[in-house]
Amino acid sequence: MASLDRHPAALATLVALCALGGCAFEGREIVVDDALSPGDVTLPDTLDARDELPPAPDVAEEFDAADEFDPPDVLDVLDVADVLDVPDVPDVPDVPDVPDVPDVPDVPVTASRAGAVCMRPDPAGGVDVACGGLLRCLPTETTPVCTLDCFNAPTQAAEQAMCGGSGATCLTYADAPDDDSFCARACDPSARGSAAGACRAGFVCTGWWFTHASGAPDVTGCAGFCTRDSDCPAGERCNTREGLCGARLPDTMRLRDGEACDPTLTVLPPGETLRRNAQCRGVCFGASADPTQGLCGSYLDLAQAGACPDDPALVRPLTGSAPDNLALCIERSCTRNADCRLPLVCRYYEDAMGTPVRMGPRLCHYPTGSQRVGTP
């Protein structure tokens, strides 16, 4: 809040040609008389091949190959052009030059419409031209905006893709499995007024740090939060301690920020239709593993105000471990138990093992096993 190389192969073929010659032999019968001695053997006159055989004719006189075989001119016998009426092949026209392809401009990164103002809200997701084709118009604590359900992703690029482009984030409230994530406009907690990265009126730049077990915020986005009536739709008032637009305003007759309350205690206030905790001027926050132990507190937008509404010298804004404009006015500082209202005592913070951090400040809080009586 994640090539295939082709190597060409060459083949070579080697061909060997061989010429073979042959010879013809003439055979004659030789008769041998065993009764004659080797010296008596004579060849008859009729066997004198040189005397009896006539001279061989002159091959060149008998057969003059050049005189007897004069092959006719093939073109005289068969004129291909006369037999086949082959039309003349027309000239191939010149191929025009291919024009240069213009450079393709870089595709601009689409800016998300998350957080844009829309006029047709619907809890089920209203279709509004201001939201484009992806996002939907949904109501918020103040004015309706273009948003969409999403999920906390490992990278901002992935969250932007879910939310329609750059300038968006998937803002996550609480931890899984009870988390609630929605597309919001990304923001910078240090930006103020009309500066780039600042949220518009009626919204606070937050990562909901106090809803995460780690205490670290999600990537900050603009969440609905009013600080004045002008941040609300026409006819509605701003409950500045809760940042909610509506008809119900803070009741200064209730418990102050930093005092003890019971989150499990709910009533049905006159004129309302839902039961709620009505003990505090602001909100009754759970303060320990005991569900009945709570502390009254208020929300504060640090971009609009720097001091808590009740006893600002003793109740100071509580912030997370990273920049975030949404703070809590809930901890009341003290030096002795008399500064606190029962059942709270003046004690130190405790680490994860339950050991008091005595180098830190003392605050009005519920007693613990290691700090049963607080500071007298």
pTM of the model as a whole: 0.69
What are phi and psi for residue 347, nearest 5 degrees? -140, 175
**Structural contact between residues 183 and 147, judged by C-beta atoms closer than 8 angstroms:** yes
**Structural contact between residues 299 and 326, judged by C-beta atoms closer than 8 angstroms:** yes
pLDDT at residue number 11: 27
Residue appearing with tokens 């205490």: 215
Instruction: Report the alpha-carbon distance of residue 224 to residue 232 in Å, rounded.
Output: 10
pLDDT at residue number 109: 80
Measuring CA to CA, how many Å separate 363 from each of 47, 87, 236? Answer: 151, 109, 37
Instruction: Report the alpha-carbon distance of residue 182 to residue 206 in Å, rounded.
Output: 13
Instruction: Report the alpha-carbon distance of residue 309 to residue 295 in Å, rounded.
Output: 15
CB environment 142-158: b (16+ within 10 A), e (fewer): bbbbbbbebebbeeeeb
pLDDT at residue number 194: 87
Which residues of the chain fall below pLDDT 50? 1-53, 59-69, 74-84, 86, 101, 104-107
The residue extents of the domains of the chain are: 333-376
* CA-based nearest residue to 219, from 181, 190, 187: 187
Instruction: Report the alpha-carbon distance of residue 329 to residue 282 in Å, rounded.
Output: 9
Region of residue 50 (phi > 0: left; psi between -120 and 50: alpha; otherwise: beta): alpha
pLDDT at residue number 146: 97
Instruction: Report the alpha-carbon distance of residue 186 to residue 202 in Å, rounded.
Output: 15
**CB-count exposure of residue 245 (10 Å: 0-12, 13-18, 19+):** buried
